[in-house]
Amino acid sequence: MALKVLPPTLRKNNRYLTVEIKSMSPIVKDDLVSIVWDACVRFQGELNTSNFNLWVMRFYELGKLDEYYNYKAIIRCQRGYEDEVRSSLALVNKFKSERISLTTIGLSGTIKASQKYI
């Protein structure tokens, strides 16, 4: 017996955050996943973070500018929790004892619309 697909009215609504990442050392997508989850769990707690429905959708390497590496990413979260995720990401300043900065530069309802910030 095959599972039925939920109709659009019963699905969770998502929002997509476009994040700019500046790091003193190179990072990969798996590192960003751990940074995002660790930041949310530290600031919001496990119970609240479980409601966020976090996922790193896209990860773009933009190269090295001056002394830091520049990246951009699209992160999915559930509608209504955008501010909590943004505040958690803004508090990140170290990863593996290197300086890092995460700045939200855009918020949209679709991946396609969030790519205009890249």
Q: What is the tens place of the pLDDT at every residue in 57-109? A: 999 999 998 889 999 999 999 999 999 999 999 999 999 999 999 999 999 99
Look at residue 3 in the predicted model and tell me its pLDDT.
87
User: Among candidates 117, 118, 96, 115, which has minimal Cα distance to 27?
Assistant: 96
Torsion angle of alpha carbons 10, 12, 16, 22, nearest 10°? -160
Q: Round to whole Å and give the CA distance between 3 and 96.
A: 43
As a whole number of Å, the end-to-end CA separation of the chain is 42
Query: Averaged over 4-33, what is the pLDDT?
Result: 93
Q: How far is CA 8 from CA 12, 13, 51, 76, 81, in A?
A: 8, 9, 19, 17, 20
Query: What fold, for 13-117?
Result: Alpha-Beta Plaits (3.30.70)
